[in-house]
Amino acid sequence: MRKIGINIDSYRGMDDDQYVKRIAELGFSAIHSFAYDKSRLEKIANACAVNGIEYENLHAPFKNINNIWYDDDSGDIILDELLECVNSCNMVGAGMAVIHLSSGENPPPVTDIGRKRFTKLIDYAKQKNIKLAFENQRKLSNLAWVLENFTPDDNVGFCWDCGHENCFTKGREYMTLFGNRLFCTHIHDNFGVYNQDSHLLPFDGNMDFNKFADHIKASGFEGNLMLEVMTKTSDLYNEISIDEYLIKAAESAKKLRNYFE
């Protein structure tokens, strides 16, 4: 049976120890988080160890990620943040980092300096035995570049964010392009309205999860079904408690898992 997972900060207001314990009780067996400060990451990792939860990956910083393509010092600062995320993965025992290649509707084009920086990151992650999963956003060109020029032997693969596909690039099917490179998933729902990245629980929007399951099955991917859901991006869950929300999250993840049984 596939593991189901959820991000550590889907709902604010519960201590990390309590959160990890509760999701384990509800049947989740994997988590991912952003690359927080090291003290918080260590606390989360300890809670995972106590509760038998896999720390699947860290989401690398992406604020100002577009700067990595620019030929100035701002790009080197971003590269340093990404390199440090790889170090943090090693520290907490997460074998993978999820990386954005760009942000927004008008990011810079692929540049030589940007390619050089990402190549340095990929080489460093491989030395540390950390996989890098590059995530779909709005643009195809940079994602195609990295997945065409680096192979699974380079520890490079794809993170499919089905919610991004539904609201950023409606009609483009990333799994038909890169499904054979799938390393991990970011699963959430929305109503397909451009730029309304709501991060709803599965089945609370209008995504076709039968089609989602068909893409996963066709790819041969057998890894975790990982939710990336958030209450802060929608008013839909304002009237329920954190425990009610987590129960609902577990129910939706198990329902989705049944598509594969």
Q: Which pair of structure tokens corresponds to residue 240? A: 């329920």
pLDDT attached to residue 226: 98
Range of the domain at 192: 4-260
pLDDT in tens, 98-137: 999 999 999 999 999 999 999 999 999 999 999 999 999 9
Q: Is the pLDDT of residue 223 over 90?
A: yes
Average pLDDT of span 58-78 = 97
Q: Is the pLDDT of residue 32 over 90?
A: yes
**Vertex 186, ends 256 and 130: CA angle to 5°?**
125
pLDDT in tens, 177-206: 999 999 999 999 999 999 999 999 999 999
> Do 76 and 83 meet the contact criterion of CB atoms below 8 Å apart?
no
Percentage above 90 pLDDT, the chain:
97
Q: Is the pLDDT of residue 13 over 90?
A: no
Total residue length of the chain: 261
> Do 166 and 207 meet the contact criterion of CB atoms below 8 Å apart?
yes
Sheet containing strand 156-161, edge to edge, reads 182-186, 156-161, 131-135, 96-99, 54-59, 30-34, 4-7, 225-227
Element (H, E) at 6: strand 4-7
Q: Is 160 left (phi over 0), alpha (psi -120 to 50) or beta?
A: beta
Q: Is the pLDDT of residue 12 over 90?
A: no
Q: Is the pLDDT of residue 261 over 90?
A: no
Q: Report the distance separating Cα 137 and Cα 146, nearest Å.
A: 14
pLDDT attached to residue 206: 96
pLDDT attached to residue 139: 95
From the list 147, 129, 148, 161, the residue with the least C-alpha distance to 62 is 161
Average pLDDT of span 237-241 = 95
From the list 9, 15, 22, 34, the residue with the least C-alpha distance to 92 is 34
Average pLDDT of span 42-55 = 98
Q: Report the distance separating Cα 258 and Cα 32, nearest Å.
A: 22
In the predicted model, what is the mean pLDDT of the chain?
A: 97
Q: Residue 134: which CATH number?
A: 3.20.20.150
Domain total for the chain?
Answer: 1
pLDDT attached to residue 177: 98
